[in-house]
Amino acid sequence: MKTLQQLLILMRPHQWLKNVFVFAGLLFSSTWHNLALTHQVAVVFAAFCCISSLVYVINDWIDREHDAQHPVKRLRPLASGQVSASSASILGLLLLITGLWLAIANPTLLILLGCYLILNLAYSWRLKQIPIVDVSIIATGFMLRLLAGTMAVGIAPSRWLLLTGLFIALFLGFSKRKAESFHPPAQQRVMLEHYPSELLNTLMAVTMTATILTYSLYATSVEAQAQQGERLVYTVPVVIFCLFRYAYQVHRGQGEDVSRDLVRDPWILLGGIVWVVIFLFSKF
């Protein structure tokens, strides 16, 4: 039972929250009432959960010796020895087979999943050590999710939605690096020495501003007005508030684990609820 628990931890299921990006196209195109389409997107979500967990397993296997020397990461299943390399290999193989099985009938999804896997393997192997490139790859992963939830299931992706998704992914990536910079020197990534605090502040400000601008332009676009009416416009202040609140939390040393920290702050959670209420239930 303990081994199963450690294998589950190794998969990092809390990170599956990032995969909800695949539902963006379904939500903003107002096609969630189409059960067949919703089922297809749910399959995409499940496939990305499998492949993203596979990436974490591979990454932890590659970094196991280095993590064993880290005061916090040494508690990870592979670094601590609670999960053997053979068990992790079997788990990784099962995740790969399941992910491919879920996507086998969708060539576009297979290609996007393949790109995601290759990109993340390159990130784990070397590219995460190159400033700007590392965050760009993280953002590309989010964009692949967005495309998988649109192009792969026959939903035409909005250009404004793609731009908004790109900038918010970059904002979250640079926010993660900023949050990591608050750790004691012994716990920091070596590459953080290439990210001066002023640079990270600038990159966060630029990408947050771009997110607000592109989302606002999308909310007021002819396309969005035709699909959603005025209600998206009324969500703009909510999005701005949530971004500001998240930036505040990052500068307090939080935000390293986006999936956890987004749902830990009650004000961001409240903002998310308000956004959903306006978007789904308002009559604007």
Q: How many other CB atoms are there within 10 angstroms of residue 189's CB atom?
A: 15
Helix axes 197-219, 159-180, angle to 10 degrees: 160
Question: Quick one: pLDDT at residue 283?
Answer: 59
Question: Quick one: pLDDT at residue 81?
Answer: 72
Question: Quick one: pLDDT at residue 67?
Answer: 64
Cβ-contact 115, 137 below 8 angstroms: no
What single DSSP character describes residue 75?
A: G
Contacts by residues 239-245 (CB-CB < 8 Å, ≥ 24 positions apart): 239/211, 239/212, 239/215, 239/275, 240/212, 241/267, 241/271, 242/268, 242/271, 242/272, 242/275, 243/171, 243/208, 243/211, 243/212, 245/271
Q: One digit per residue, pLDDT tens: the chain, 284 residues? A: 667 888 888 888 888 888 998 998 888 887 778 888 899 999 999 999 999 999 988 888 877 767 667 666 776 777 777 878 788 888 889 999 999 999 998 999 999 999 999 999 898 888 888 899 999 998 999 999 999 988 888 888 888 888 999 999 999 999 988 888 877 666 666 677 788 889 999 999 999 999 999 999 999 988 888 877 788 899 999 999 999 999 999 988 776 777 777 778 899 999 999 998 998 876 55
Q: What are the φ/ψ torsions at residue 247 (nearest 5 degrees)?
A: -60, -40
Question: Quick one: pLDDT at residue 169?
Answer: 93
**Alpha helix ranges (H) inside 63-106:** 64-67, 77-80, 85-103
Q: How many other CB atoms are there within 10 angstroms of residue 146's CB atom?
A: 23
Tokens 């790859």 label which residue? 137
Question: Quick one: pLDDT at residue 61?
Answer: 82
Tokens 């979500």 label which residue? 45
Query: Rg (Cα) of the chain, in Å, rounded?
Result: 19
Whole-structure pTM value: 0.87
Question: Quick one: pLDDT at residue 185?
Answer: 64
Question: Quick one: pLDDT at residue 184?
Answer: 65
Question: Quick one: pLDDT at residue 96?
Answer: 93
Question: Quick one: pLDDT at residue 217?
Answer: 92
